[in-house]
Structure 1
Amino acid sequence: MRFLDLAETSAAVAATSGRKAKVELLADALRRLEPGEIAPGSAYLAGELRQRQTGVGYASLRERPAPAAEPTLTVAAVDALIAEISVVAGAGSQARRRELVAALFGAATADEQRLLVGLFSGELRQGAQAGLLADAIAKAAEVPLTAVRRALLLSGDLKQVAVAALTAGAAALAEIHLRVGTPLTPMLAQSASDVGAALLATGMPATVDVKLDGIRIQVHRSGDDVAVFTRSLDDITARMPEVVEAVRKLPLREVVLDGEAITLDASGRPRPFQETSSRAATRGAAARRKSATAPEAPGAAAGPADQLALVPFFFDILHLDGVDLLDEPGHVRWQALADALPPELIVGRTTVTSEEEAAAAFAAALAAGQEGVVIKAAEAPYDVGRRGSAWVKVKPRHTLDLVVLAVEWGHGRRKGWLSNLHLGARDPGTGGFVMLGKTFKGLTDELLRWQTARFQELATGDDGWVVRVRPEQVVEIAFDGVQTSPRYPGGVALRFARVLRYRDDKPAAEADTIDTVRAIGGHATPETSATPDKNATTEESATPD
């Protein structure tokens, strides 16, 4: 199949508003894929690359060659080239990767280049999320939608489901079961502004879990074999020897556990999320040569990130010694968890029958230094891969009035609109502004239209990728926290920043200061400023649910 056909389908889906019409377009494209193209082709239609890591950054995408006049690429050829790019390593790898990227983009037409940019950047917003692809797979393969959805939930792999359905039909989908060692897409929580709103969704009685500010982990054990996966299904077993050892010590044969890994100080209070993330990312071969034993007390003495122990806490159990528990109600799973694990490995949880009890649990979690709570319906099954009303997270919300310093042109559905905002806080010492990060979240179509016109009025330069603007427009930003960042001049960045509203009533001179931002995060003023990275995205890597 021509890669151009997928690019045209992607553009058509982005331009189509109706769900049924989107499904028809996607199903037609899926039917035309050759068997060997189904895996990469279905991933492209979902806005993803089959390869999770490619090493291709924004700079490479910005400095691409002129598009080809005629289409020559096939889906299989594109997949092969990207696969080659993803495994480049060693001496001269940067130059070799640039050559391969240039070759790929040089062979692509303008429409194909637009699709490739969206795929590599992860910003292909065409409205073809996994739910729509599941519908399209069912239609293209002429199999029941329920069979596709169930297989997708259990495998966590849209590509595998597409291949099974389109090559072997319903029988192949029925063979997809929960398999110990194969990660499942985790159940997610929606958000509520307070515990009262959360309880309206879950009902009462409800279970209130402490929400840890750690890394979501799914741990699979079969005999002595233990594997640890992230919420995005990446295998991080080698980085978490303490977690492996803690689960290996349990008197169990087979188990699949859902939880969080977090770093704690000597008193048992959580360290900042960034330290947990850094510790998980930098645990190397030298650390793995050490004895990987779980700490005797919760946590370890505070120190550099690579010296902190990661402590696991679990809040759900999906499989136990040959028995799947996914479809059991929450209270059954949680009792099985309590029977199988010692209390020190289970997240703090409380059963509540009133809003007052839930509010007290929320206050206690915050007082203990935790991120908030997750309120859960006790009768709900484990809804793999879904963000429904059975789990509702409640966290305190911070807001700041910041100034827009620049805006990036959007891709995919946002093509032609100014989208990604560069955010700055006022520096009272210099009278200038200090960049804190970027966000394109919280922007409605109405806001996108408005800000495109507004920032073109304020533009001082446009390189085709980023529009620099006069620092005059104030925007109210909600965020979950502040963390240290070497990417930006102020040494800090916002976590989960999203737009609430524009403040036309407020001049830039009254925006919040960098000192206010640092105070929220408990950060001292850095002695030296870091050099900002123009290609850095909002600080959201390794984020928890």
Structure 2
Amino acid sequence: MRAFADLLDRLIYTRSRNAKLRLIGDYLKSAPDPDRGWAMAALTGDLDLPGVKPAIIRAMVDERVDPVLFRLSRDFVGDTAETVALIWPEPLTPPPQSDPLTLAAVVDRLMTLSRSEAPAVLATMLDRLEADERYALLKLATGALRVGVSARLAKTALAEAFGIPVDAVEEVWHGLKPPYAELFDWAEGRAAQPSAANVPVFRPFMLAHPLEETQVSLADYAAEWKWDGIRVQLVHVAGQTRLYSRAGDDITHSFPEVAAAFATPGVLDGELLVKGEFQGGEAASFNALQQRLGRKQVSAKMLADYPAFVRLYDILFDGAEDLREQPWTDRRARLEAFVGRLDPDRFDISAVIDAADFAALEEIRAGARDAAIEGVMLKRRDSAYITGRRVGLWYKWKRDPLTADCVLMYAQRGSGKRSSFYSDYTFGAWTPEGELLPVGKAYFGFTDEELKWLDRYVRNHTVARFGPVRETDKTLVLEVAFDSIHESKRHKSGLAMRFPRIARIRNDKPASEADTIETLRRLAT
């Protein structure tokens, strides 16, 4: 655990991407198997230890530390793992001398734990470790490292450390299981590259850069609508079908009707949507799709009320033929031929927007605020399907956000680097009776200087405390930008914002002039 704890500690305090790559690479080259494999699983989010949950940790620490002291400390520190690591008392009886705990030994033991066994086993481990190792253990156990490392960056570090292409690592990654013995055998030249043939694995998506001030020529770029669902990948290989989310999570069980309808060998990229009766079977808003997300079992009523389908964007494989190196125009022709073999109730194709030039496209985009349209995609006609974001190939041009003036109601400390700041803000709008009801929560959109100003404001205008949450005096107006707003039965206001962010601090505007629930309801889709 010592080497892994040192790695996490250094990553937390390192901002440079290249420095992080070197830190991870040095660890992977020096750590033994299977420790380094489990470390990669933790850094990429592929490690699941179901026996350890945050509630177990809180109950466990309550037995060793005054609960009031722990909660006050947790409120000050802002992170449970860090608080427990620092406040955990030395055992009254020193543990017997034994070999240092290794990362592999910790993972092996935690993987076999039941929830009833977890507190005692975890406490014994904490007794044997120093504070930074305790922090690493708790972060590992709960799957919440938050050290500023994405899965892609961790894979890039591995690739650079061993001199292999990162795209080749991505290609085989989802066909392997931790601790990735075959991957390290290949990386160190002891074996051939693992194969993903005949396995329905996930291939990383091609992503787009935001289109900001740049204008592009429609002679070089094709335009499609950017639909407001969730990006998915459909894979049918060797008689097996899988449906993957953008993060590579298997969501087949949540959309069984879509998976059952895809039995043609190939790999497709598209947007998962729900049909809306009010739009004649066209795509409904994201709010309708949200009723289906995250469900382990889907009832017949849910299937009938929220029928899912996929609007296809691209084709990666046609049967066993890999099309990713072909230009977009050729892949588009193959996709149009492929979709003709699919069930039209479950699959259609995202149409290319007919616009004479960029100015005409801008006018078309400005007039579109359909419930399921998020903006426009611009794809270079000669672009191969390349993993990740490459400048100049694909752009996303989102529709302009909606805005509303809302009143700050509550604030809560953030996590990680923001654990010392009140950075999560709940805001509301007025009812006709003059009551404020929450309509959203945002924790980004502001600058570092604005965050410091807001933090001071919260501390100086607190009127009540509820654990880590502070209630403010409801005098500060925030201009909130959001992509859309929907009717919601789960919220007291009856509304839910999609992707809200703080656009501006309106300390020049009286709270009484903020927007009303009715104003926001008229924007609902």
**Structure 1-normalised TM-score?**
0.75
Contact 1:49–1:120 (CA<8 Å) still a contact in 2? no
1:185 aligns with 2:204: yes
> Matches of 1:122 and 1:444 in 2, distance apart?
29
Question: Aligned partners of 2:492, 2:56: CA distance in 1, in Å?
Answer: 23
Partner of 1:16: 14
CA RMSD across the alignment: 3.8
Question: Distance in 2 between the 1:231 and 1:384 partners?
Answer: 12
**Which residue does the alignment assign to 1:322?**
320
TM-aligned CA distance change 1:61 to 1:369, over 3 Å: same
Matching residue of 1:37? 35
Deviation at 1:149, TM superposition (A): 4.0
Matched, 1:262 2:291: no
Amino acid at match of 2:318: L
User: Is the partner of 1:349 in helix, strand or coil?
Assistant: coil
Opposite residue 329 of structure 2, the aligned amino acid is H
What does residue 51 of structure 1 align with? 48
Task: Describe the superposition over 1:43-77 as per-residue Cα deviations: whole angstroms up to 9, x where unpaired.
Answer: 4345x3612978946x6676661533469764335
The alignment partner of 2:23 has SS state of helix
Q: Is the 8 A contact 2:172 2:194 kept in 1?
A: no
Q: Which has the larger radius of gyration?
A: 2
2:28 aligned counterpart, secondary structure: helix
Is the contact made by 1:39 and 1:50 (CA closer than 8 Å) also made in structure 2? no
Determine the C-alpha separation between the residues in 2 that align with 1:449 and 1:483.
31
SS in 1 for 2:326: coil
The one of 150, 158, 166 aligned to 1:137: 158
Segments of structure 1 that go 5 or more residues without pairing to the other structure are 288-302, 523-545
Q: Structure 1 residues 466 and 369 mapped into 2: Cα distance closer, same or farther (>3 Å)?
A: closer
Q: Write out per-residue CA displacement over residues 12-60 of structure 1, whole angstroms, 9 at most, x where no aligned residue.
A: 22222333333333233334433122333124345x3612978946x66
Query: Could you tell me how far 1:102 is from its partner in structure 2?
Result: 7.2
- Cα distance, 1:98 vs structure 2: 8.2
The question of whether the paired residues in 2 share the 8 Å contact of 1:262 and 1:310 is answered with yes
| Counterpart code for 2:250 | D
Counterpart of 1:237?
252
Give, as a single letter, the amino acid of the residue that structure 2 aligns with 1:327.
E
SS across alignment from 1:9: helix
Matched length: 483
Q: Does 1:438 align with 2:441?
A: yes
Within a 5 Å distance, the mapping from 1:21-170 to structure 2 comes to 21-45=19-43, 48=45, 50-51=47-48, 56=53, 65=61, 66=65, 67=84, 68-69=88-89, 74-80=102-108, 83=111, 96=116, 99=119, 103=123, 110-111=131-132, 124-139=145-160, 141-144=161-164, 147-152=165-170, 155=173, 164=182, 166-169=184-187
**For 1:274-327, what per-residue CA distance to the aligned partner results, in whole angstroms no more than 9, with x for missing partners?**
22232354483654xxxxxxxxxxxxxxx9675332122211000112211122
Structure 2 equivalent of residue 275 of structure 1: 288
Name the counterpart of 1:525: none
Q: Distance in 1 between matches of 2:130 and 2:144?
A: 19
Change (3 A) 1:24 1:371: closer
Question: What's the CA shift for 1:337?
Answer: 0.6
- Paired with 1:60 and 1:485, the residues of 2 have a C-alpha distance of 32
1:511 to 473, 489, 514: 514
Whether 1:457 aligns to 2:455 is no
How many Å apart are 1:112 and its aligned residue? Answer: 5.0
Q: Secondary structure at the match of 1:183?
A: coil
In structure 1, how many angstroms separate the alpha carbons of the residues matched to 2:105 and 2:470?
A: 34
Aligned to 1:340: 338
Letter paired with 1:271: A
Q: CA 1:117 to 1:175, structure 2 compared with 1: closer, same or farther past 3 Å?
A: closer
Whole-Å Cα distance in 1 between the matches of residues 369 and 476 of structure 2? 34
Q: 1:16 to 1:402 in 2, by over 3 A?
A: same
Alignment of 1:496 with 2:494, yes or no, is no
- 8 A Cα contact 1:154 1:178, kept in partner: no
Instruction: Describe the SS at the equivalent of 1:259.
Output: strand
**Could you report, residue by residue, the CA deviation over 1:426-459 in whole angstroms, capped at 9, with x for unpaired residues?**
334243x222333222344333333333322223
Counterpart of 2:387, as a letter, is V
CA contact (8 A) 2:478 2:504 kept: yes
Identify if the C-alpha distance between structure 1 residues 131 and 308 changes in structure 2 by more than 3 Å, giving closer, same or farther. Answer: closer
Cα 1:280–1:23 shift into 2, 3 Å? closer
Q: CA 1:380–1:159 in structure 2 vs 1: closer, same or farther (change >3 Å)?
A: farther
CA-to-aligned-CA distance 1:197-222 (integer Å, 9 cap, x gap): 4643x764321212222232211113
Question: Structure 1 pair 286/513, CA: closer, same or farther in 2 (3 Å)?
Answer: closer
1:101 and 1:218 map into 2 onto residues whose CA distance is: 40
Query: Normalized against structure 2, the TM-score is what?
Result: 0.78
The answer on 1:221 being equivalent to 2:236 is: yes
Segment drifting more, 495-504 vs 274-283 = 274-283
Report the counterpart of residue 97 of structure 2 in structure 1. Answer: none
SS at match of 1:42: helix
Q: What is the distance in 2 between the residues matched to 1:358 and 1:180?
A: 41
CA distance in 1, matches of 2:376, 2:449: 33
Cα distance in 1 between the residues matched to 2:124 and 2:376 = 47
Q: Is the 8 A contact 2:38 2:179 kept in 1?
A: no
Cα distance change, pair 415–8 in 1 and its aligned pair in 2 (3 A): farther
The answer for the alignment partner of 1:412 in structure 2 is 416
**Distance in 2 between residues matched to 1:483 and 1:305, nearest whole Å:** 21
Q: Which amino acid counterpart does residue 162 of structure 2 have in structure 1?
A: E
Residue 400 (1) aligns with residue 415 (2): no
SS in 1 for 2:385: coil
Distance 1:41 1:128 in 2: 12
User: How far apart are the structure 1 equivalents of 2:399 and 2:170?
Assistant: 30
Matched with 2:72 is none
Q: In structure 1, how many angstroms separate the alpha carbons of the residues matched to 2:434 and 2:121?
A: 41
Spell out, residue by residue over 1:77-132, the C-alpha distance to the aligned partner (whole angstroms, 9 max, x if none): 553465457xx6xxxx7xx4985897599657654565567668877543322344
Provide the C-alpha distance between the structure 2 equivalents of 1:501 and 1:121, rounded to a whole number of angstroms. Answer: 35
TM-aligned CA distance change 1:278 to 1:461, over 3 Å: same
Partner of 2:7, secondary structure, is helix
- Whether the aligned pair in 1 keeps the contact of 2:175 and 2:196 (CA below 8 Å) is no
Deviations 1:243-277 (A, max 9, x none): 234322xxx5x200111222223413322222223
The alignment partner of 2:362 has SS state of helix
Question: 1:505-538 CA distances to partner (integer Å, 9 max, x unpaired)?
Answer: 123222222222232225xxxxxxxxxxxxxxxx
Contact 1:206 1:352 in 2 (8 A): no
Report the counterpart of residue 425 of structure 1 in structure 2: 429
Ranges in structure 2 where 5+ consecutive residues have no aligned partner = 66-83, 92-99
